Amino acid sequence: QVQLVQSGAEVKKPGASVKVSCKASGYTFSNHEINWVRQAPGQGLEWVGWMNPNTGNVAYAEKFQGRVTMTRQTSINTAYMELSRLQSDDTAVYFCAREDGSGWYYFHYWGQGTLVTVSS
Amino acid sequence: SSELTQDPAVSVALGQTVRITCQGDSLRSYYPSWYQQKPGQAPVLVFYGKNFRPSGIPDRFSGSSSGNAAFLTITGAQAEDEADFYCHSRDSSGSHHVFGTGTKVTVL
């Protein structure tokens, strides 16, 4: 069965960077884009960006341009999202999600989420 | 515009029908997908595309679209349907994604 398993919670100081991993299993990793979505406490879902595991191509939401980097290690079916210059409003649960569909797009499989807390 | 707007909250009596609305320009080009999220959990896909419901999702969840609006209808709402619901689509450029602002559904 398809699974996305994320790394554990992180606590970072303002100005630091965090790297979250998302290990895929149960399907061919290179066949589906991995998206990252975050949710601040009490807030809605916010799309961060996507990465094509086959080509390494990425697209980031404008507000994260210059601060986010999405990469992958195909040998271990793992995607990564690194966010730099963290501020308190980056405190959120970060989810990875597998993109499906053609013509219409959806996220059927999600990771369990990784809580990133930014605090001095 | 790359925004998807939803009503912040709706309530429905147990067993009755509720419709959740999502509005945005990108919906003229892309079918939405809909997600249910309960506290402390990852979102769950409940409807997508023109008319698709993932395996295991009750058939009381249905979707439709018209122009720049999309709708998720819960027919015969159950207590376990109480949750936050989000719509999603590609944005108008087609290269990014966007989520709706979210609707909190309360079952009375």
The sign one gets for the Cα dihedral A15, A34, B47, B77 is: negative
| pLDDT recorded at residue B72 | 98
Q: Which of B49, B97, B102 sits opposite A104 (nearest CB)?
A: B49
| pLDDT recorded at residue A91 | 98
CA proximity to A35, closest of B48, B69, B89, B30: B89
Query: pLDDT at residue A3 above 80?
Result: yes
Structure tokens at B20: 């959740």
Task: Provide, as residue numbers in chain A, all residues whose Cβ is less than 8 Å from the Cβ of B102.
Answer: 44-45
Whether A44 has its CB under 8 Å from any CB of chain B: the answer is yes
**Terminal C-alpha separation, chain A:** 40
For residues A21-50, average pLDDT: 97
CB contact under 8 A, B96 and A113: no
Residue B81's φ and ψ, nearest 5 degrees, are -80, -10
Q: Higher confidence at residue A48 or residue A104?
A: A48
User: Residues 6 or more apart from B90 whose CB is under 8 A from it?
Assistant: A105, B26, B29, B30, B96, B97, B98
Distances (CA, A) of A95 to A6, A8, A32, B10: 8, 12, 16, 26
| pLDDT recorded at residue A1 | 95
Whether A59 has its CB under 8 Å from any CB of chain B: the answer is yes
- Calculate what percentage of chain A has a pLDDT beyond 70: 100
The tens digit of pLDDT for each residue in B6-47 reads: 999 999 999 999 999 999 999 999 999 999 999 999 999 999
B54-59 own/partner pairs: CB under 8 Å, 24+ apart: B54/A108
| pLDDT recorded at residue A77 | 98
